[in-house]
Amino acid sequence: MMRRAFERRLGRSSLTLAQARALLYLSRNEGLRQVELAAMLEVQPITLARLIDQLEAAGMVERLPDPDDRRAYKLYLTKAAAPHLAAINDVIRSIHADALRSLGRQQVDSLGATLGSMRENMGAQNRERDRESA
């Protein structure tokens, strides 16, 4: 429901949900390589490459050579991404406010702690599985 609300509220933007997610994650982790961002977004690298191509064509993202790997590029936002990120963050804040409206502060804090624990549990399982397969 939150995803649909996001798409509906961002509807006036030229961005797709996937592009908005890529911009948001990149804003929190500038200088990532494409393969790293693809893993964070849980998409195939080729899928992300197309998204980055679109964002680069729109002037919001730039690829710069990775000084440690001549074959790789690191991703950075341009100034043109700033108004889009502001709109994305406004929509996120609005959706969160709507979703949490009837909850008290203690409930919100408890929910945040519970979701954080769930994320950590799943991350630990994924790290263990990655070690076993290596």
62 and 113 inside one domain: no
Report pLDDT for 9. 79
What secondary structure letter does DSSP report for 60?
A: S
pLDDT at residue 126 in the model: 67
The parent domain of residue 131 ranges over 104-134
pLDDT of residue 134: 66
Residues 6+ apart with CB under 8 A from 121: none
Domain count for the chain: 2
The H-or-E segment that residue 53 falls in is: helix 45-57
Q: Is residue 23 a contact partner of residue 37, using CB atoms and an 8 Å limit?
A: no
Q: Let me know whether 27 and 78 are in one domain.
A: yes
Q: Which parts of the chain sit beneath pLDDT 70?
A: 126-127, 130-131, 134
Residues 87, 118 within the same domain? no
Query: In Å, how far are 8, 44, 79 from 51, measured between CA atoms?
Result: 20, 11, 18
Contact by Cβ (8 Å): 87, 33? no
Same domain, 123 and 68: no
CATH number at residue 64: 1.10.10.10
First to last CA, the chain: 37
- Residue 127 and residue 66 in one domain: no
